[in-house]
Amino acid sequence: MNCFVIQLKFICFTIPMIKHLVKDKSKSTRLKFRNISITFACIVLAFCGSIHAQMSVFPKAFGIRAGYGFIVPHSSSVEPLINGHISSFELNYRYNFSGVKEWEKTYRYPYSGIAFHYMNFNNDKTGSAISVMPYFAFPLKKNKILDAHFRVATGIAYITRKFDLLENRKNLMIGSNLNAAVDLLLQANWKIDRKIHLLTGISLTHFSNGAFSVPNTGINVLSVNSGLTINIGQPVAVNHNKFPILRRSLKWLVWGGFWLKEVDQVGGAKFGAGTISVNALKRYSMKGSFGGGVDLMYDRSMLKRKPELGAPIRAGLTFAYEIHIGKMSIPIQQGIYVFDMFKKDTFFYQRIGWRYHINKEFIAQFTLKSHLFVADYAELGIGYTFKQ
C-alpha cells in the first residue's frame, strides 16, 4: 500500500516534468530530469524494501478513544433530529499478529480485537447507542514514530430511543432498538513511548437494521478522534519465513442467504427476502480474488408495493471482489439487474459483508444488499465451494 501511494505521487510529480521536457529538449534539462527520476526511484525501492524491516511486535494492547463529530444529514428526515455535535467513547482490546501464518505476513502484521463503544446523539428523540464490535485493522504505514492503520469494525448496537408511533414519532432514522453497527476508522498511532501510543484519527460510524423494521434511514456520524493505546507484555519476534507458493486456481461458489424486511407501513408485516447466487472467483494473491456471478433474488415485499406484479423475482449479474483475511473474507459486489419487472429501485445494486470459511468446502456468511445508500435486505446464509 505504501509503495503504491509513493509510486502514484511519483507519477503525478513527473507528468508535468515530462511535458516540460517535451518543450525543452536541451541536454541539461534531460540530465536534471534523469537525476530526479533516479533519485525518486531509489526512494521508492528503498521504501518497498523496508516493508518487512519490522523485527518485533507487542502481543496485546488496550486502548481508549474519544470522538467528537456530527450526524451527516443524508436525507431531509434527518435534519430536524440534529441538535449539535456528537460525542463518543470507546474501550478496545486488540491482538497483534506476528506473521505465524502467511496472510499475517502478507498484510504486514495487522491486528484484530473487540471494541466497546458508546455514542450520545445529543437528542432525546434518538438517545444514545451502545455497541459491541469486533474489528480488523489493515496497516498503511509503519516506522519508528508512526503506526497508521485503517480499521474496519462491525457488530451489534443497542439504540436507546427508537421510533414509536405514539411516543416518539419524530425519530424517522431508526425503527428498532437492536441494530447493526459499522465503524470505519483511519487512525495514526504516534509512538510517544515504547508501550504508550497517542492515537489520532477520523471515523465514520453507521447504524442501521438493514430494513428489518421501518423507518430505517439510518444514522451516519463523522467524527475526529483521539486516545491512547497501551501495549501489554513483552515484544515477540515477527516471522519472516517464506511460505509455499499460492495456487491461483479458479473456484466456484454457490450460496444462499435469507432475511426479513418491512416496507412502507410502520409496524406492518415482515416479508421474506433472499438470494441464491453462483459465483466464479479467481484467486490472484493472498489478499484477494476477483470474478463474477449470477444472482436470483426473491423479495415478497415487492407484491406489497406493486400488487399487479406476477412473481416477486429478480435476476442480476455481478462483478465480485473478495478480500481474504485468513479464514475470514470480505465480499464486495456491484450488480446490475438483467430481469426486473418491479422497476421501482435503481437498475443496479451493491453487496458487502463477511464470510467465514468453515473448511475448504463450506462457508457461512452475512451480507447486506443495497441500492446505493438505501438498504434492501440482509442475507444470512451458507455456501459451498468447489474447484474446477
Tell me the three cell numbers of residue 27: 541536454
**What band does 8 get if pLDDT is binned at 50, 70 and 90?**
very low
Q: Which residues pair with 368 in a beta bridge?
A: 352, 378
Does 42 lie in the same domain as 154? no
d(CA 286, CA 3): 17
- In a domain? residue 224: yes
Residue 373 has pLDDT above 90, yes or no: no
* Average pLDDT of the residues in 42-67: 66
Does residue 127 share a domain with residue 7?
no
Q: What is the pLDDT of residue 171?
A: 74
pLDDT tens digits along 310-320: 889 999 999 99
Question: Percentage of residues in the chain with pLDDT exceeding 70?
Answer: 82
Quick one: 139 and 37 in the same domain? Answer: no
Give CA angle at 281 (280, 287), nearest 5°. Answer: 170
2: helix, strand or coil: helix
Say how far apart CA 210 and CA 198 lie, in whole Å: 35
* The pLDDT value given to residue 315: 97
Q: Which of 213, 237, 261 is the last residue of a domain?
A: 237
Average pLDDT of span 131-156: 92
Look at residue 339 in the predicted model and tell me its pLDDT. 95
Residue 244 within a domain: no
Quickly list H helices, the chain. 2-23, 27-49, 102-106, 301-305
Residues found in the chain:
388
Residue 14 lies in domain: 2-49
Residues 260 and 206 in one domain: no
Least confident of 29-33, 276-280, 288-292, 337-341: 29-33
Q: Are 129 and 119 in contact (CB under 8 A)?
A: yes
* pLDDT band of 17, cuts 50, 70, 90: very low
> Which of these three, 175, 210, 237, is where a domain ends?
237
State percent of the chain over pLDDT 90. Answer: 48
Q: How confident is the model at residue 387 (pLDDT cuts 50, 70, 90)?
A: confident
User: Quick one: pLDDT at residue 267?
Assistant: 61
- Top pLDDT among 332 and 79 is at 332
| Residue 223 and residue 272 in one domain | no
Are residues 329 and 369 located together in one domain of the fold? yes
Q: What is the pLDDT of residues 325-365, one digit of tens each?
A: 989 999 999 999 999 989 888 999 999 999 999 998 999 99
pTM of the model: 0.76
Q: With 60 as the cut, is the pLDDT of residue 293 above it?
A: yes
Mean per-residue pLDDT, 69-93: 83
What's the total number of domains in the chain?
3
Mean pLDDT over the full length of the chain: 82
Does 332 map to a domain?
A: yes
Inter-residue long-range contacts of 163-169, CB under 8 Å, 24+ positions, other chains counted:
163/215, 163/266, 165/266, 165/267, 168/125
> Does residue 55 have a pLDDT over 60?
yes
pLDDT band at 126 (very low <50, low <70, confident <90, very high): confident
Bridge partners (DSSP) listed for residue 178: 158
pLDDT at res. 54 = 60
Give the model's pLDDT for residue 11.
37
91 and 127 assigned to the same domain: yes
pLDDT score of 43 = 39
38-52, 188-202, 369-383 — which is least confidently predicted?
A: 38-52
The backbone torsions φ and ψ at residue 240, rounded to the nearest 5 degrees and listed phi first, read: -105, 15
pLDDT exceeds cutoff 80 at 275: yes
Query: pLDDT band at residue 6, thresholds of 50, 70 and 90?
Result: very low
Q: What is the pLDDT of residue 132?
A: 97
Beta strands in 121-234 (DSSP E): 128-142, 146-159, 178-191, 196-208, 219-232
pLDDT of residue 264: 65
**Are 91 and 206 in a shared domain?**
yes
Give the containing element (helix H, strand E) for 269: none
64 and 198 part of one domain: yes
Residue 245 lies in a domain: no
Quick one: CA dihedral 319, 323, 324, 327, positive or negative? negative
In this structure, what DSSP letter does residue 246 have?
P
pLDDT digits 0-9 by tens, 171-200 = 777 888 899 999 999 999 999 888 899 999
DSSP labels for 213-242?
SS----EEEEEEEEEEEEEES--EEPP---
Decide if pLDDT at 65 tops 90.
yes
Same domain, 223 and 364: no
CATH of the domain at 126: 2.40.160.20
Average pLDDT over residues 376-383: 94
> How large is the average pLDDT for residues 31-41?
43
Q: Is it the case that residue 45 has pLDDT exceeding 50?
A: no
Lowest-confidence region among 1-5, 50-54, 117-121, 312-316: 1-5
Residue 242 belongs to some domain of the structure: no
Whole-number Å distance between alpha carbons of 219 and 222: 10
- For the chain, the C-alpha Rg in angstroms (whole number) is 24
Q: Which of 20-24, 278-282, 311-315 has the lowest mean pLDDT?
A: 20-24
Q: Are residues 229 and 286 in the same domain?
A: no
**Is 163 found in the same domain as 21?**
no
